[in-house]
A and B are shown apart, each in its own frame.
Chain A
Amino acid sequence: MKPLILLVEDHDDNRAVIKRRLERRGHEVVEADDGASAVEAYAKHKPQLIIMDLSMPNMSGFDALARIRELDEEGCARCIAVTAHSMQSIEERCAQVGFDGFLAKPIDFGLLSDEIDRHLSASD
């Protein structure tokens, strides 16, 4: 059984296709469509890995990460940022606030798979 992944993305079509591909790789996927529901879903399911969009309504990926880090007392959740912003400064900011990985959209699924494997093997 592959570990649980929380997929946070406000764009329905993009979320659906990423979910489909993750499930094809054998992962169990929980979805959230904004930062606030991501925090709720995290509290409920405690997934080991989170794939999170940055610009979302209600609560941004940055704020959601901060809230999740408060809930994650053992500090074992890994979080990969995904964004369509292309500025270099965004990647640096992600590293600063504690994202464990960064991917630019459009997502190269090969790279995403590598990232997932890297983080899941690290947290084992």
Chain B
Amino acid sequence: MYRVISCALFEHEPFQLALAAGICAACFTAVALVAMHAEASRKARRGWIACMALIAGGGAWATHFVAMLAYRPPVAVGFEIGLTAVSLVIGVAGAWLAFFIREKRRDRLGTAASGAAFGSGVAALHFIGMASLRADAYRLWEFDLIVASWLLCVGFSLAAFQTLSKNKSLYRHLLACGFFVAAVISLHFTAMGALTLVPLALDVDLTGTLNGTGLAVMIGITVAGMLCVVALQAFAEQRVDLARMQNEAKSQFLASMSHELRTPLTSIIAYTEELAYSAAQDKRQADLRDANVILEASQHLLGLISDLMDYSKIQEGKFEIEPRTFPFAAFVDDIVAVSKPLAAKNENELVVELGSKLEMIDTDEARLRQCLLNLMSNAAKFTHGGLVRLRISDDWRGGARGVLFEVIDTGIGIDKEKQARIFERFRQADETVTRRYGGAGFGLSIVSEIAARLGGEVSVESEPGAGSCFSLWVLSNLRGLEAGASTLQNRADANEDERAAA
């Protein structure tokens, strides 16, 4: 005890020593405040844990080396830069481990592990820091005091984490801060008391080591770096917060907008159907035609509202795919039945070529149907008095079995430079097209997104004036492939099974 006190009093410069204590108190107050904030906000947890580790570990490190600046041994000393840096890393790593454990486990064992990790980290920091000391002297270590310094440090760390584990008041956090400071300072002076430098003319070379000024610069840079990281973290949290709030507000807005739009549309459609009904009863053909025009436009509007909702779900990453296994032929029949009136509207002829031998398909039925009907209605919309063909064939791509749907029309076609862009979000090939044919231009971007989510792709080939061919390829066994996606062998097996089942 006497050794420790005399070391602290007679071998250190008091002003610099006070500075070290001040840095220590400031850093751990910051740790306590960050811990309180992180507790309350429960956001960006990992970032805040990293921040606490950086300030706590870096603060203990800065305290140690400022105290080393205050140290006045009887010989000239220098600090090896490599080991000095290693000691900083060890200190931060120990603190990170401690706060990480605290995040995972708040029980007694977790608290004990946190305290041990933090205390041992700071002790390791200290002794590696001492190993970086170069002096023209022989070192005498007192083993008892080394053990005592470690015990003190771990003991106070345990007290700090125990204090933090109870209630979360400011008082508790500041008390914990006091324990942290006690851990670092008691360790430092006990361990310094364990060391006696016996001056010897050994001609130890101090070149290439940091002198006091160099060390001070390194400490300054480290502390400034710590502040920058904390500021960046606060900024990042703010942004995460803002982005999430904006996203939530947007999707809430779109959901209620969709509800508000559907409600009057319900009246429009129901009453127009009534008008169509009475017009048909009374054989008023002109009125019946007019009513049907309103109904078609209403259905179109309804489709746009659904597309808008899909589009917003895709943007937020909330677009879900629900695969199941179903008979393929019946699915194709259904698509053809729904496509017939679409094609007939512009006096187009619909031709279906079913070349696939697939019996069962595993994919998201509703989404695949949505894609195909979108392509079919586009083909019918941009073709007048021509041919709309749906060609379906089995096709292997990248070692996986899939189905290729080709929708071929003899319509107006698309310019080469515009073909690449039509699958991009919110873009129709030409504004004049939008005006003439309607559509907000996100139908194809939704098709493209769905195709990707069904393990496939969509592409277009077209010649202006001659027509277009949209090719949609999707996996015929979406879940089978996902389950065995790790190896090609598994893929082959999955498809083999499927063939056996078929």
Q: Within 8 Å of chain A (Cβ to Cβ): is B269?
A: yes
**How near does chain A come to B274, taking the closest CB pair, in angstroms?**
6
- Please name 15 pairs of A and B residues whose Cβ atoms are closer than 8 Å in the assembled complex, sorted by A: A20-B274, A21-B270, A21-B274, A84-B259, A84-B263, A84-B266, A85-B258, A86-B258, A86-B262, A87-B255, A105-B263, A106-B262, A106-B265, A106-B266, A106-B302
Docked-complex contact B266 and A105, CB < 8 angstroms: yes
**How near does chain A come to B266, taking the closest CB pair, in angstroms?**
4
Write out the residue numbers on chain B whose beta carbons fall within 8 Å of the beta carbon of A18.
Answer: 270
**How near does chain B come to A88, taking the closest CB pair, in angstroms?**
8
Q: Within 8 Å of chain A (Cβ to Cβ): is B309?
A: yes
| Assembled-state Cα–Cα distance A55/B260 (Å) | 12
7 closest A-B pairs by beta carbon, nearest first, are A84-B262, A106-B266, A17-B270, A105-B266, A106-B269, A84-B259, A13-B267
Docked-complex contact A85 and B269, CB < 8 angstroms: no
**How near does chain B come to A30, taking the closest CB pair, in angstroms?**
19
Q: Within 8 Å of chain A (Cβ to Cβ): is B273?
A: yes
Write out the residue numbers on chain A whose beta carbons fall within 8 Å of the beta carbon of B267.
Answer: 11, 13-14, 17
Docked-complex contact A86 and B270, CB < 8 angstroms: no
Within 67-96 of A, Cβ neighbours of B (below 8 Å) are at 84-88
| Assembled-state Cα–Cα distance A84/B305 (Å) | 12
Q: Within 8 Å of chain A (Cβ to Cβ): is B306?
A: yes
Q: Within 8 Å of chain B (Cβ to Cβ): is A107?
A: yes
| Assembled-state Cα–Cα distance A52/B309 (Å) | 24
Q: Within 8 Å of chain A (Cβ to Cβ): is B271?
A: yes
Residues of A within 8 A of B (CB-CB), count:
17
Write out the residue numbers on chain B whose beta carbons fall within 8 Å of the beta carbon of A105.
Answer: 262-263, 265-266
Known interface pairs A17-B271, A17-B274, A86-B306; A107-B262 also in contact (CB < 8 Å): no
B contact residues vs A (CB 8 Å cutoff): 255, 258-259, 262-263, 265-271, 273-274, 298, 302, 305-306, 309, 320
Docked-complex contact A107 and B270, CB < 8 angstroms: yes
Within 85-121 of A, Cβ neighbours of B (below 8 Å) are at 85-88, 105-107, 109
Write out the residue numbers on chain A whose beta carbons fall within 8 Å of the beta carbon of B273.
Answer: 109
Write out the residue numbers on chain B whose beta carbons fall within 8 Å of the beta carbon of A109.
Answer: 270, 273
| Smallest CB gap from A88: residue in B | B320
Write out the residue numbers on chain B whose beta carbons fall within 8 Å of the beta carbon of A55.
Answer: 259
**How near does chain B come to A91, taking the closest CB pair, in angstroms?**
12
Write out the residue numbers on chain A whose beta carbons fall within 8 Å of the beta carbon of B270.
Answer: 14, 17-18, 21, 106-107, 109
Write out the residue numbers on chain A whose beta carbons fall within 8 Å of the beta carbon of B263.
Answer: 11, 14, 84, 105
**How near does chain A come to B320, taking the closest CB pair, in angstroms?**
8
| Smallest CB gap from A24: residue in B | B277
Within 15-60 of A, Cβ neighbours of B (below 8 Å) are at 17-18, 20-21, 55
| Assembled-state Cα–Cα distance A84/B264 (Å) | 10
**How near does chain A come to B166, taking the closest CB pair, in angstroms?**
40
| Smallest CB gap from B262: residue in A | A84
| Smallest CB gap from B310: residue in A | A86
Docked-complex contact A86 and B265, CB < 8 angstroms: no
| Assembled-state Cα–Cα distance A84/B259 (Å) | 5
| Smallest CB gap from A87: residue in B | B255
Write out the residue numbers on chain B whose beta carbons fall within 8 Å of the beta carbon of A21.
Answer: 270, 274
Docked-complex contact B266 and A86, CB < 8 angstroms: no
Write out the residue numbers on chain A whose beta carbons fall within 8 Å of the beta carbon of B255.
Answer: 85-87
Write out the residue numbers on chain A whose beta carbons fall within 8 Å of the beta carbon of B320.
Answer: 88
**How near does chain B come to A14, taking the closest CB pair, in angstroms?**
6
**How near does chain B come to A72, taking the closest CB pair, in angstroms?**
28
| Assembled-state Cα–Cα distance A14/B183 (Å) | 73
| Smallest CB gap from B271: residue in A | A17
**How near does chain A come to B410, taking the closest CB pair, in angstroms?**
33
Other A-B pairs, 9, CB within 8 Å; known A14-B263, A14-B267:
A11-B266, A13-B267, A84-B262, A86-B258, A86-B262, A105-B262, A105-B263, A107-B266, A109-B273
